[in-house]
Copies of this chain bind each other. A is one copy, B any other.
Amino acid sequence: MLQANSCRSCAIRHTGICSGCGANDLRLLEKARYIRSYDAGQPIAWCGDRMEFVASVMHGSVSLSQTMKDGRNQMVGLLMPPSFLGQPGQESSPYDVVAVDYTVLCCFCRNQFGDLMKEFPHLTDRLLEMSLRELDAARQWLLVLGCKLAREKTASFLAVLASREAVAKALPRTRRIAFDLTISREAIAACLGLTMETVSRQITALKNDGIIQLKSARRIVVPDVNRLLREAGDVPAAPDEGDRAISAIA
């Protein structure tokens, strides 16, 4: 898992920060990169720590969160492949960064990556694209936190995961979709601005109403994503429409 396979066969070769690179550029990137892996729950950086690197998330997922003095905390980003972690111009991490899953990062020394961006403008272009996408996702998430009820928040969260799964497996979005929750109820609560107990109650309620099924506490089946989206307070996307709601949260 950890070994440095060739960039050419990398899972995010055509979707990550490097997707605009030709074969030659890629060789230079490959020389500069190094792989790091983290176990589930392992911290990558605490808020204020110096960030030595920026990285692509190759596998797993990484949470960005903020904590207040009294312990209240809010997840503000959930990065999954092929998201990019860190900002070239940013000395220290503004967030607590934690590996949620077993996670593999493709890292670049931060300053060196800045130089690479100068050398290969398409890296800058791509980072801009990805950042604007993240920005839209964060703004979608603001709607969830600011306006929605607990049931709608929970449904929104599950809909995001279901839609992601559908995209990953190239399933039609109307078909039954099954996936694993890789994060605890508590982490979901931190995403949604709720408590663990409320999340648990809402998941149970959605199950009782037949919107979802629970194979186990962490295994979810969604018979009809559009029904789930309706519970989330979202207008189900037309079949052929590029779905924006899906991008929310991550």
Binding site for B on A (CB under 8 A): 64, 66, 68-70, 72-74, 76-77, 87, 89-90, 94-95, 121, 124-125, 127-129, 131-132, 134-136, 138-143, 145-148, 192-193, 233, 235, 244
A141: shortest Cβ distance to chain B, in Å? 6
CA gap between A99 and B48 in the complex, in Å = 36
**Chain B residues with Cβ under 8 A from A192's Cβ?**
146
Best-buried of A69, A72, A132, A244 by chain B (most CB within 10 Å)? A132
**With A68-B147, A147-B72, A193-B146 in contact, is A128–B139 under 8 Å at CB?**
no
**Chain B residues with Cβ under 8 A from A146's Cβ?**
74, 145, 192-193
Minimum CB distance partner of A235 in chain B: B69
Minimum CB distance partner of A131 in chain B: B131
**Chain B residues with Cβ under 8 A from A72's Cβ?**
147-148
22 chain-A/chain-B pairs, Cβ below 8 angstroms: A68-B147, A68-B233, A69-B233, A69-B235, A70-B233, A74-B147, A76-B140, A76-B142, A76-B143, A94-B136, A121-B124, A124-B128, A127-B128, A131-B131, A131-B132, A131-B135, A134-B135, A138-B138, A142-B145, A145-B145, A145-B146, A145-B193
CA gap between A77 and B140 in the complex, in Å = 11
Minimum CB distance partner of A247 in chain B: B94
CA gap between A59 and B222 in the complex, in Å = 48
**Chain B residues with Cβ under 8 A from A87's Cβ?**
132
A67: shortest Cβ distance to chain B, in Å? 9
**Chain B residues with Cβ under 8 A from A68's Cβ?**
143, 147, 233
A98: shortest Cβ distance to chain B, in Å? 15
**Chain B residues with Cβ under 8 A from A64's Cβ?**
139
CA gap between A141 and B146 in the complex, in Å = 10
**Chain B residues with Cβ under 8 A from A135's Cβ?**
131, 134-135, 138
CA gap between A128 and B88 in the complex, in Å = 11
Question: What 5 pairs between A and B have smallest CB-CB spacing?
Answer: A146-B193, A76-B139, A74-B146, A138-B138, A145-B145
